[in-house]
């Protein structure tokens, strides 16, 4: 498989990228980011862009890929609402719009546990709107990935402070179906690309089920 990934300089993106590079069936990974990942690998190509909104249809970088894993994002905490909407909705939808051969591609958007249009929090409504719009973009398959807690990958450098705080509770959270490993997150997305799934919104329990199917 040939995979496009965004957000590979962040926590979830870096962990996913590292795991993808260790999967034999992954032939090529294109990281699209505002800065280099610092990772060197024969399968990895990097496309550094200053402004995602300036990317246009017909960009040769994006031809011949099987899936987009849109993982780039930002926390809503401390982020102005207009900036949050731009990063969490306008940019991923623009990125989806310019992809070639949509009917042959899978688009997976990193959303979050608790996403709902009826939520009281601003971010829930924004991400829900993004999910719904992506589902109508004409891709072969599209999914909203809604993970909760994720345990970092081996060799990962960009680890959030919160991850260390919840680490002692990780075994309990797994038992409760609210935690995954980065490898599970990566493998689940490959299975979604290869086989599809009977759900659009992919919860932590679904991630675990899918990863076992790889």
Dihedrals phi, psi of 43, to nearest 5 degrees:
-85, -15
What residues pair up with 209 in beta bridges, in sequence order? Answer: none
What is the structure's pLDDT at 4? 98
Residues 55 and 190 sit within 8 Å (Cβ to Cβ): no
Select from 161, 85, 68 the least CA-distant residue to 122. 85
Distances in Å between the alpha carbon of 79 and those of 24, 36, 53, 55, 181?
39, 23, 19, 24, 27
What length is written for the chain? 214
Select from 17, 37, 108, 98 the least CA-distant residue to 66. 108
pLDDT digits (tens, 9 = 90+) for 164-212: 999 999 999 999 999 999 999 999 999 999 999 999 999 999 999 999 9
pLDDT at 48 over 90: yes
**CA atoms of 137 and 102, how far apart (whole Å):** 8
3-state SS, one letter per residue, for 174-208 = HHCCCEEEHHHHHHHHHHHHHHCCCCCEECHHHHH
Domain boundaries, the chain: 2-212
Confidence band of 78 (pLDDT split at 50, 70, 90): confident
CATH (one of 3.40.50.300, 2.40.30.10, 2.70.70.10, 3.40.50.720) for 2-212: 3.40.50.720
pLDDT digits (tens, 9 = 90+) for 112-171: 888 988 888 999 999 999 999 999 999 999 999 999 899 999 999 989 888 999 999 999
In the DSSP assignment, the letter for residue 109 is E
pLDDT digits (tens, 9 = 90+) for 8-22: 999 999 999 999 999
Residues 69 and 4 sit within 8 Å (Cβ to Cβ): yes
Q: Which helix (H) or strand (E) holds 141?
A: strand 141-145
């Amino acid at each position: 498989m040939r995979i496009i990934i965004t957000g590979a300089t962040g926590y979830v993106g870096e962990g996913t990228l590292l795991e993808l590079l260790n999967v034999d069936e992954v032939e090529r990974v294109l990281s699209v980011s505002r800065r280099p990942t610092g990772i060197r690998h024969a399968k990895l190509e990097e496309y550094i862009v200053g402004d995602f909104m300036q990317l246009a249809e017909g960009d040769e970088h994006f031809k011949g890929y099987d899936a987009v894993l849109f993982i780039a994002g930002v926390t809503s905490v401390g982020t102005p609402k207009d900036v949050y909407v731009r990063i969490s909705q306008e940019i991923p939808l623009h990125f989806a719009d310019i992809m070639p051969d949509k009917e042959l591609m899978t688009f997976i958007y990193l959303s979050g546990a608790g996403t709902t249009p009826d939520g009281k929090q601003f971010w829930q409504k924004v991400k829900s709107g993004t999910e719904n719009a992506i589902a109508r973009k004409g891709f072969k398959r599209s999914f909203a990935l809604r993970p909760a807690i994720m345990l970092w990958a081996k060799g990962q450098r960009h680890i959030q402070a919160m991850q260390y705080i919840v680490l002692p509770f990780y075994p309990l959270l797994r038992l409760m179906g609210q935690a995954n490993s980065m490898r599970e997150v990566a493998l689940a997305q490959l299975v979604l690309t290869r086989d599809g799934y009977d759900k659009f919104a992919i919860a932590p329990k679904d991630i675990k089920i899918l990863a076992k199917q790889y």
